[in-house]
Chain A
């Protein structure tokens, strides 16, 4: 378990460093468009995807960089996509909101809220038809559950016992609208009972809890018992996107989440870093961590620092890779659009 935890902690550190760097590159003008970042929510993507098998499929939203990284896409390929370059995982055509990787079964980032549900059940339909031991992981936000596709897809998934794990990243906001102002039933997991889909709510700031809940749910899904839904309670530390400062959130609320714990600190605690060592680490929210620590001491200060350094180097290399990658040409765009691979005669 400790090895796994260290890996997850490392992925979360990478996620945080990658996203903070993306924000810097956006400010420099190397990244454009809409950029939705993930700090605060790392435990969800990392925990869920560590519980997944390589044969599982992932369908994601526009806030998907970390899902892609946790799925094993290289930081260079993701950063190059954010830079709009040819070596990006979508060839520079998709950008931040549309990361795809066929090989890793990363079936795309979708920017129209509510699109992930039907795509996920379609893939799951094919799995069920072919009787394969695979699952589809379908990410969505709390705002997406008021889209008709959520209800329509849950119904079909339940009706035909499709192998989907529905993963709600409930960060309590749909851009500027707080969940109590957009949902009559703000407990997302409670909605699943309308379709007899087993569901529960889990602390999305605790990577171990996320990992265990996902593993159990995925086992059920793969066993052919139909879809499951997990609602992870989490919080985004930044605004909705780079265009949003998040001023609509009461200061006290943001502080409460910060006190409750940065998911990275929680992961460090679970990795068993000793109390004194943790206290010396100049991270943002370690105060809370100190109280929880002092167990096995598996992760000492030195190991932690070297993990951070490795992650920083990886992000640096990703940026260099992106910078050195060429821009795609118009012919690349035309080739991307053309899926006629068998020379079908059209005219």
Chain B
């Protein structure tokens, strides 16, 4: 299975399969994860293979089935709770924030919390305001949680397996538009530490720090920038809590310019944390004020054009990068 090209959902599916096979304490639960095979096919085939006690279809009761995951984890199961989309996780925040993240601490360290909550989020295609958000900032502010944001099939494979094997509560944020993206998967390759960032393109003039689906757009922008004589380094954080500052700092020591690209709205978003900490730690390394390219301060409209205009695009990343590098946007050809 070396360097098999595979879809993102398939990588997640293989990761679940591998862990269900390896450990009888692993269970998967969520709406339509069983018989139906998962809304995005992530759990396809698992119900037939492992049966209803290990792959459980739940009612629409996010608060309580996520809480069930917490209870089961307390006594040693390793539940992987699928919340159909992150929008419904708002109903499960008590279980995630008040229970999963705090029980290990409140119990004075008596109870580990081997719980994984996986869910897709993000702006997909015209799913409208209630179904187009990521909410990572809400979870990032919770001590005790870890947050993985795999953007490639390889990372999905590694990080989901690492999350299941971990004794800490971990949220895996997937992206609806990544499920059917393709990439290489080497199942046998040695995994980097779960929260280490990846420099996915080397460059010298500026550092673009990004994650999840914005990785792809940032790489596209970096390719366009290269044609315009600007060499951008692109870092995929792969994780939002903890964040691998060392990889970012090493890059800034080289480029001295920082651009953060995030899909969700700017105010108090993930990018704010990245910029604040890097400014604190690398203020004198930076030649320019750091910048963010982020979503608009608006819920996402159903209308397709407004939706597209509400989130970063490769051209908006290119324009911001040129600005920090002291270059005006290229003249419009008339």
Contact = CB atoms under 8 A, between A and B. Distances in A.
A333 interface: yes
Interface string A158-201: 00000000000000001111000111000000000000000000
A92 interface: yes
A327 B298 contact: no
A33 B125 contact: yes
Interface stretch (A106-114, A122-130, A258-266): A106-114
Given A84-B304, A337-B298, A144 B126 contact: no
A144 B59 CA distance: 9
A327 B304 CA distance: 9
A176 B84 CA distance: 13
Contacts of B60: 113-114, 143-144, 146-147, 174, 182
B126 A146 contact: no
Contacts of A175: 31-32, 36, 39
Dominant SS among interface residues on chain B? loop
Interface stretch (B128-136, B179-187, B189-197, B283-291): B128-136
Given A111-B130, A112-B87, A182 B301 contact: no
A146 B59 contact: yes
Contacts, number: 117
Nearest to A92: B303
Q: Which bracket fits the contact residues of A?
A: 35 or more
Dominant SS among interface residues on chain A? loop
Contact of A33 (B299, B302, B306): B302
Contacts of B87: 111-112
Given A93-B302, A112-B88, A176 B32 contact: yes
A166 to B, nearest CB: 16
Q: Which bracket fits the contact residues of B?
A: 35 or more
B31 to A, nearest CB: 7
A103 to B, nearest CB: 21
B32 A95 contact: no
Interface string B286-321: 000000000010110111111001100000000000
A98 B36 CA distance: 27
B61 interface: yes
A182 B302 contact: no
Interface in B81-98: 87-88, 90-91
A333 B296 CA distance: 11
A32 B61 contact: no
Contacts of B131: 33-34, 97, 111
Nearest to B310: A333
B35 A330 contact: no
B64 interface: yes
B35 A248 contact: yes
Interface string B114-136: 00000000000111111100000
Contacts of A97: 128, 130-131
B129 A177 contact: no
A219 B31 CA distance: 38
B162 interface: no
B123 to A, nearest CB: 11
Contacts of B298: 333-334, 337
A294 interface: no
Which of B59, B63, B131, B302 has its CB near the most chain A CB atoms (within 10 A)? B302
Contacts of A90: 302
A94 B128 contact: yes
Nearest to B63: A148
Contacts of B88: 112-113
17 contacts: A32-B302, A32-B304, A81-B302, A84-B302, A85-B303, A94-B302, A95-B126, A95-B303, A112-B87, A113-B60, A175-B31, A175-B36, A177-B31, A328-B301, A328-B303, A333-B306, A337-B298
